[in-house]
Amino acid sequence: MGNHIERLVLKGRQSIQGAGNGLNNYLVGNTGNNLLRGLAGKDRLMGGTGNDILDGGTGEDVLIGGVGNDTYLVDNIKDRVVEAANQGIDTVRSSISYTLRSHTENLILTGTQNLDGTGNSLANSITGNSGHNVLNGGAGADILMGKTGDDTYLVDDIADVTIELANGGIDRVRTALANYRLADHIEYLEFTGTQNSTGTGNDLSNTIIGNAGNNILDGAAGVDKLIGGLGNDTYLVSDAGDLVVEGIAEGIDLVKSSLADYTLTEQVENLLLVGNAIKGMGNDLANTITGNAANNILFGGDGNDALFGGVGDDKLIGGVGIDTLTGGAGVDTFALLETGGDIITDFDPSNDIIALNQTAFGLLDQIVGSVLNASKLVVVNSDAVALGGALDLLPSPLTRLIYSTESGNLFYDANGTSLPGIVNGLGEGGGLIATFEKVLGAVPTLTSANFVVDSIV
């Protein structure tokens, strides 16, 4: 259009182009597929019918597509796209951060700048550029496609789809959905809000971050980092390189491990062995550690722990603290590291074994792996006798273990004489080793055959 002319109206049905000038132009297309370019100035472009391309150029432009599948080129924050309902599938190509207006379906970010793209209430398709994009479909079932930058996807609909290229940057999904699985080639998943959520990774080395709810986090394949946050969180660990991260006072948390050997990280309370897992170890907290159907080795570590062997021939090592040990089915070994009063809930004298730490109970004077010499154990009918009430019942100066059938308490006498003396007379290193709870109404009957001396760990 020549200089000093403001208006251009295209006629006929042909697909033709029209361009403005440096003035504030008014361009109107025909019934064909038009390319209208406003160039400089504050322009108003109307496509009419047909699949039109409207490019306002520089300036604050108004772009009205009309009927047809129209494309709008936007480069100014004050450009305005106008579409009515049911007038085709329309696309905005924008070189600035942009939010789709009503009745416009698709958004493509252009250039190389770091831009944000936001949808509307329709089912949108939003495509990033080579920069670092934040793509938010808004309401509706949206398709979000990043490119080579480090992109962030805001997902709010269960039907939203995220599409990433291999080696297309380090990408992140942020979502408040109750359940989300990362698509291929996306590294990070972060939950927002306070609802209970389940997050699953992909084949990459993912970082999955929970919210304030009770989350279930599963990195799937790869070496993953799982961060629960507040709430009672559950972590599914399947790779030896997986890392579980919890803060102080952030709920009562559980790891379900399928690894052959797993040790709880700091601030995680509970461990459940699943699949082919064999060995589980606690931390400084009061842990609950539960085995599976295999022959497990469970070690509580520090803290007052509860160990459950389940099915299988298990070895339960309470560690430091007053621990509660339940072997379950099978031939179980209850390993006692020191005095302190562990509680054994289901000892079966016909099958189970008590393993005493050779270092802590050195006065037993036996080699590792040997069954306890009968002279080392005396069985009495009350704690009073065990602690000095009827000293003449002790048969030998070699006696080191005293078992009370009244309470199920097992004591270690480390005072170096045949007489245990008064309560404080069990000697340095002596004291209550363990309490055997009643099974079918009675404490178990113990003999020296139930004991071995072991190096424990």
Per-residue pLDDT of the chain (457 residues), as tens digits, is 678 787 988 898 888 999 889 899 899 999 999 999 999 999 999 998 999 999 999 999 999 999 999 999 999 999 999 999 999 999 999 999 999 999 999 999 999 999 999 999 999 999 999 999 999 999 999 999 999 999 999 999 999 999 999 999 999 999 999 999 999 999 999 999 999 999 999 999 999 999 999 999 999 999 999 999 999 999 999 999 999 999 999 999 999 999 999 999 999 999 999 999 999 999 999 999 999 999 999 999 999 999 999 999 999 999 999 999 999 999 999 999 998 899 999 999 999 999 999 888 888 878 888 899 898 999 998 877 666 544 444 545 567 899 999 999 999 987 755 444 434 456 566 789 999 999 989 999 999 999 999 886 5
Residues 448 and 388 in one domain: yes
Q: Which two tokens stand for residue 338?
A: 């020191």
Where does a domain end: 63, 88, 113? 88
Residues 398 and 435 in one domain: yes
Count the domains in the chain.
3
Residues 320 and 352 in one domain: no
Q: Which pairing describes strands 401-404 and 409-412: parallel, antiparallel, or unpaired?
A: antiparallel
Residues 412 and 376 in one domain: yes
Residues 326 and 347 in one domain: no
In a domain, 193, yes or no: no
Q: Which two tokens stand for residue 239?
A: 């790779």
In a domain, 253, yes or no: no
Where does a domain end: 64, 88, 112? 88
- List strands edge to edge, sheet with 35-37: 17-19, 35-37, 53-55, 71-74, 91-94, 106-109, 125-127, 143-145, 161-163
Where does a domain end: 88, 118, 151? 88
In a domain, 398, yes or no: yes
In a domain, 195, yes or no: no
Residues 350 and 401 in one domain: yes
Residues 347 and 426 in one domain: yes
In a domain, 359, yes or no: yes
pTM: 0.90
* Burial per residue of 143-155, b for 16 or more beta-carbon CB atoms within 10 angstroms, e otherwise: bbbbbbbbbbbbb
In a domain, 143, yes or no: no
Residues 71 and 24 in one domain: yes
Which structural domain, as residue segments, surrounds residue 383? 340-457
* Alpha-carbon span 358 to 428, nearest angstrom: 16
Residues 365 and 320 in one domain: no
| Residue 97 CB neighbours (<10 A) | 15
- Positive or negative, the CA dihedral 96, 98, 104, 108 is positive
Q: Is 315 exposed, middle or buried (0-12, 13-18, 19+ CB in 10 A)?
A: buried
Q: In degrees rounded to 5, what are phi and psi of residue 432?
A: -70, 125
Non-local (6+) Cβ contacts of 147 within 8 A are: 127, 128, 129, 130, 133, 165, 168, 169
In a domain, 134, yes or no: no
Q: Is 305 exposed, middle or buried (0-12, 13-18, 19+ CB in 10 A)?
A: buried
Residues 312 and 374 in one domain: no
Residues 288 and 313 in one domain: yes
Residue 423: predicted pLDDT: 41
In a domain, 73, yes or no: yes
**Residue of 411, 342, 351, 347 lying closest to 376 (CA atoms):** 411
Residues 268 and 374 in one domain: no
